[in-house]
Structure 1
């Protein structure tokens, strides 16, 4: 899956991932390969990216996530 994390200022991350966990408004949820298309608002919290055995975490200040056809875009209002 391809993931992009964008803020109004810059691109925070772009690359291939095996899963991503985002802080949804109603609670965190994970997006895996072939996830159903989804658009969701995000709260302040951690975006956890897993690629193989590696794991990275980014703190975002709210935003929106869209996942469709194994392409995930996180539009964050900002980062800490």
Structure 2
């Protein structure tokens, strides 16, 4: 099944997929989210968002600038102010 992950910018929905794990650059430090993670919200600092499609897969990295991350019962949503093209 996996973790439902969405990456959203003010312009559009950039990504919506099921993934294994995402490491997020939180303002209080990096944190990783797997399926079933406890709900919480965090602010983002500028840095790399690292996405693992499957366990042991090579990660995909997207640079994000500012925003919020929300983990809830449906998955992880990252609301980024800007992403590097």
Q: Please, what TM-score do these two structures have when normalized by structure 1?
A: 0.93
Tell whether the 8 Å contact from 2:35 to 2:75 is kept in structure 1 after alignment: no
Mapped partners of 2:45, 2:59: distance in 1: 21
Figure out how many residues of one structure are paired with residues of the other and give that number.
Answer: 80
Which ranges of 4 or more aligned residues in structure 1 deviate by more than 6 Å? none
2:33 maps to what in 1? 31
RMSD: 1.1
Can you give the 5+ residue segments of structure 2 that lack an aligned partner in the other structure? none
Can you give the 5+ residue segments of structure 1 that lack an aligned partner in the other structure? none
1:19 maps to what in 2? 21
2:67 maps to what in 1? 63
